Structure formats: C-alpha cells, structure tokens
Amino acid sequence: MKKKLLILLIAIFIGFGANAQTKSETNVLVLIYSQNGGTYKMAKAIAEGIQDYPNTKATIKRVPSINAKEKLNADVEKLPIATIEELANYDGIAFGSPVHFANISADMNYFFSQSIPLWTARTLEGKPATVFMSAGSGAGKEAAILSFWNILASHGMVIVPTGIMGTATLDKTIPQGNTPFGATSLAGSTGIRPSQSELNLAKEQGKALARVASGLKNTENIKVVKTTSVETKIDINKTLKDNNIVLPEAPKPVGNYVPFTISDHKVYINQVALKDGKILNPGKVGATVTDDQAKEATYQTMLNVIAVLKEACGGDLNKVKQCVQLTGYFNTTPEYTQHAGIMNSASNLTALVFGEKGKHARATIGAASLPINSAVEIQAIFEIE
C-alpha cells in the first residue's frame, strides 16, 4: 500500500513539473504614441487588464517622436522607446495612439513605415493585436482604428476587437468614447478624462488580448516548424526575378585586395556605391547629398554586396544560410543623426531577397569622409554552406 502511495505521489509531482514547463509566461507589449498623456492613461488600464490574466506580463513602451524637440508629458517622457525589430519578441501587442484627422498619429505611422523587413519575413503573422485611441472631439475615432487595422491585417496579425464588452459598467450620463472596435477616450470632453467607463473598457480589452495571446502561444512551435519548412523551399533566383531585382556585375578590386574572403563558412565583403564604373550620388549626406539620394546610394551599395556574395557562393545564392551582420558607414555632416533611416534601404533589400535568412544584426556609423567620395560604404558578413 505504501509503495502504491509513493508511486502516486511521484506521478503527481512529475505532472506538476511538466505542467509548469508548458505554461511559460505570456509577454504582451503596449506600444503607444502620446503627447499630453491621455493615451498613456488608457495604456495603463490596458496593461492592468493584461496582467489580470494569469501568467501574463505587460510592458508599456512608446514610439520615438518624429520631432525630437517635441515636449511630451513628463510620465510619457520616461517610457522606454521601442524599436521596430523588437515587435517580434512579444506574444501580443496593444497599439495606442491619439486620433489625428481620422487616422493614427504621424509618429506611429512613421514607426510602422520601417516594418517592411518584418512584413517580408512574415514575422508578425499570427500574433494577436488590438488598438485603442484617444480623441479630442471624438470625431473620426472609429475610422482611425479601422485605418490601423489595415496595417495590422497586412502583417497577418490576429485582430482582437472589443465588441460589446464593458457595456455593463458604462456611465450613460456622460459622453463616452467607447466603440466596438477598441476603447477610446473623448479627451476634449467635460469631466475627468479618460472617464472610468473608458478605463473599464480599456481594462477589459487588455484582458481579452491577453487571453488570445496566451491561447495562441501554445501553437508557437507548430508555426515555427511550418515557417521553416516553407522558407527552405524559397529559390533566391526566383525572388530576384519576381521583384525585378537585377544584380550588377560584381565590382572588381582596384588595389592589392580581394572582393571577398571566406573563413569558417563566413563571407566578408566591403562595398561602396559604385554604379556603371562611377560613384552614385557622391558627396556628404546633410550637405550636398539628400536623404533620398543617400538611400538610393545605400540600395546600390547593397546590390553590389549581393553581387559579390553571389561570386563567393559560386553563382548560387541559395547557398546563403544567414546574413550575420551589416555595418553601414555614412559620409555625413557632424550634426547629422538619421543614419538608421538611410541604412534601412540595405536592410529592407536583404530581408526581401533572403527572407528569414536575411535577418541580421546591424550597426550604422557616421564618418568624416569615405573612399572616392562615396556617401556610403557597407561591410557585410554572411554565413554560407
């Protein structure tokens, strides 16, 4: 009898251990743009609802302001700034923005304009998302949420609306910003805003997102297997053709060096913005070279890198296993700070051509000058078979 009881207790403990391993914490991001703090107050209610759901953690961050000199609410100013790449690290995301002319804020829109690498790599596909907003007059709030849904749908995200949740606690004696698409606040209305009803709906919305994110997290391993299976079938040559990408002839060395070296399956390449034997858009960014011209030069430089990489692979880019690192050097004026935006031209092209294999670490560096007056030079490291 004692032996049977001991076996039963061991089985129970093993069961608890297995259950604990499968219930890993669900991480949800609450990402906002907020200037005066109204959207931030809604974000805190969203986060509270998320963390009310078992084994779920909420993190509030903000997108960077387009105008670096813009004065923000003191509490908003203290929030950590998110990067577009880190969206892939969360199990679900709640997006918050003020309503600007029946649309999302320009700052949030600019943040998402950098998401092409995530889109081409299908990084956000299947992740649950929800939208909440703050509107001065309330005009255009539903149109603004739906416009944001278009972006999320393009990424293949699972959209979580509010429906009629929160109606039981709705204060019908004052105007409310609630919608069936997501919680909103009538920031310009009378009384304390957001109202308690608006905060209640935001909290319910956060809890609904956490429930979906937690449920979908259990299918993550299945998704990874499927994604990997599809990715291995991609033919780089077909990708180039489908996207009308024509690789130039690989530039030849003009000194005592080689166009690439290979060590331990790693290919090391350096290239500048050479096109048809001449430097494309030469000069200094921020002075004689515009941002658009610098982006064009960066794109050309990355084409040159891929052309050299093709030679290193014996003519078959399908041998590329991973883009490990890209480092962009830019010939800029001392006060110039938009290096990352220019480098996106190279990162986006890499992600488009190589898909999952194109995900890479990256650095951007300003320089007082570059060889032959090129506006850009790129150092690349690839792993090949």
- 190-249 pLDDT, tens digit each: 667 788 888 999 999 999 999 999 988 866 545 444 444 444 467 899 999 988 999 999
Q: Quote the pLDDT of residue 190.
A: 66
Distance, in Å, from the CA atom of 50 to the CA atom of 25, rounded to the nearest integer, reads 12
Listed range (18-22, 180-184, 330-334) with the worst mean pLDDT: 18-22
DSSP letter at 368?
S
The pTM of this model reads 0.53
Q: Quote the pLDDT of residue 230.
A: 42
- Give yes or no for a contact between 91 and 109, defined as CB atoms under 8 angstroms apart: no
Return the sign of the alpha-carbon dihedral for residues 147, 150, 155, 160: positive
Instruction: Assess whether pLDDT exceeds 80 at residue 170.
Output: no
Return the sign of the alpha-carbon dihedral for residues 80, 82, 88, 91: positive
Question: Tens digits of per-residue pLDDT, 308-349?
Answer: 999 999 999 999 999 999 999 999 999 999 999 999 999 999
The owner of tokens 């890209």 is 326
Q: Quote the pLDDT of residue 72.
A: 86
| Whole-number percent of the chain with pLDDT over 90 | 59
Instruction: Assess whether pLDDT exceeds 70 at residue 369.
Output: yes
- Give yes or no for a contact between 384 and 319, defined as CB atoms under 8 angstroms apart: yes
At 92, the amino acid letter reads G
Mean pLDDT in residue range 77-98: 92
DSSP letter at 285?
B
Average pLDDT of the chain is: 86
Mean pLDDT in residue range 51-74: 89
Confidence of residue 184 (pLDDT cuts 50, 70, 90): confident
Distance, in Å, from the CA atom of 160 to the CA atom of 204, rounded to the nearest integer, reads 11
Q: Quote the pLDDT of residue 136.
A: 66
Q: Quote the pLDDT of residue 9.
A: 46
Mean pLDDT in residue range 73-96: 92
Q: Quote the pLDDT of residue 81.
A: 92
